Amino acid sequence: MSRPSAPTGQTTAQLNSAIKLHQSGQHEKALQTIQRVLAKNPKLGDAHYIAAGVLIAKGDLDRAMYHAEQAAKADPNRAEFHAAIGSVHATAKRFTESIPHYQRALELNADLPDAINGLGVAFKETGYAAQAITLFDRLIRLQPNNQDAIINRALLDANAGRAHAAVTRLDEASKRFPQNPILHDVLALASTYDDELTPEQSFELHQRFGLVLQGHLRARNQHSNAPEPNRKIRVGYISAEFRQHSNNYFLAPILDHHDHNQFEVFLYSTNARRDAVTDRLESAADHWRLHRSNDLRGIIDTILEDRIDILVELTGHFASNNLPILATKPAPVQISYLGYANTTGLTTID
């Protein structure tokens, strides 16, 4: 969330405090601070704008939309307020609906990075690759160190079958931003499809990702699972794709044939989208857990509370993966299975 131009005096201090709380992950305290501001000035666009950003991070998209719309209503000429509405739609995967709001933001400020990147992502996700490339290239010219733009531009190359171009772009960027795990994540993914790399070179890029990610997250080396020989083994499967997806043609029979006298099956979903396949998979498990994909701490705590013995991740390096969770080793035995035909690069996966 870019910092808005705020009013002066005590209100400015409160808004800046809310932004700092939000950036440190203290979302509830940030909202409490904003609510105090809005109690005195309910039409202050900056306060509504910051509230929208905090609520997006919390996954409370209905309230986020209310505040984003209130911000734009308070000051229709503020480009970032219209971009915030687009961001709420995009976070909810309503990319088509996000487009006019990003376009309105760019009419007001043609160089607003959040709007350029947001519109580029919306075009990428709705099949307008050429328009998306134009936007990301423009943003990279404006901000050569904009890592989101670099990653999104590389993904477009990879999606178009230009894997080597994606690897080249990302490898160069990784030298400038060596500690960005998302960049290394996408680089590892692209390397799997680059026929100009040797298997050893692709393996090295996956290992590099693992080193970077595990440098940010501490892995557990002790677990509280009771070593009782006669109890059920708790098996957890984690994915953002427990819905209509090719993986589930292979996963569903496994779930159907688990011996529930010996195994207790947990499904950890990091995507709220549901369909008939979701219902089938959930009915085949003993327990269903739903978390927001950005609720890293919450997901880890739930896995630990469930005392999972074997945790199986099903996505590898594809989009919306859960590799940061497995990097913390919330289960004593961890497996990467089915979704990705390469190593993850994590030493925490057995």
Nearest Cα to 66, choosing from 56, 76, 75?
56
Q: How far apart are CA 31 and CA 256, in angstroms?
A: 44
The DSSP call for residue 322 is -
Residues counted in the chain: 350
Instruction: Quote the distance between the C-alpha of residue 189 and its chain's center.
Output: 16
The pTM score is 0.90
Tokens 């509230």 belong to which residue? 51
Contact 53, 62 (CB under 8 A): no
Q: How far apart are CA 162 and CA 19, in angstroms?
A: 39
Nearest Cα to 310, choosing from 223, 202, 240?
223
pLDDT given at position 8: 52
- pLDDT (tens digit per residue) in 312-327: 999 999 999 999 999 9
Tokens 């890293």 belong to which residue? 296
- Structural domains in the chain plus CATH codes: 10-154 (1.25.40.10), 159-216 (no CATH), 233-336 (3.40.50.11380)
- pLDDT (tens digit per residue) in 77-97: 999 999 999 999 999 999 999
DSSP-derived pairing of the beta strands 233-239 and 263-269: parallel
- pLDDT (tens digit per residue) in 147-205: 999 999 999 999 999 999 999 999 999 999 999 999 999 999 999 999 999 999 999 99
- Average model confidence (pLDDT) for the chain? 95
- pLDDT (tens digit per residue) in 182-193: 999 999 999 999
Q: How far apart are CA 130 and CA 278, in angstroms?
A: 34
What percent of the chain lies above the pLDDT cut of 70?
A: 98
pLDDT given at position 10: 83
pLDDT given at position 7: 60
Query: Within a 10 A sphere around the Cβ of 297, how many other Cβ atoms?
Result: 12
294: pLDDT strictly greater than 50: yes
pLDDT given at position 226: 86
Contact 196, 164 (CB under 8 A): yes
pLDDT given at position 295: 86
Q: How far apart are CA 111 and CA 50, in angstroms?
A: 20
pLDDT given at position 4: 47
- pLDDT (tens digit per residue) in 245-288: 999 999 999 999 999 999 999 999 999 889 999 999 999 999 99
Q: How far apart are CA 221 and CA 233, in angstroms?
A: 20
pLDDT given at position 2: 53
Nearest Cα to 315, choosing from 303, 305, 325?
325
pLDDT given at position 9: 73
When pLDDT is cut at 50, 70 and 90, the band that residue 1 belongs to is low
Count CA within 13 A, CB hemisphere, residue 308: 28
pLDDT given at position 199: 97
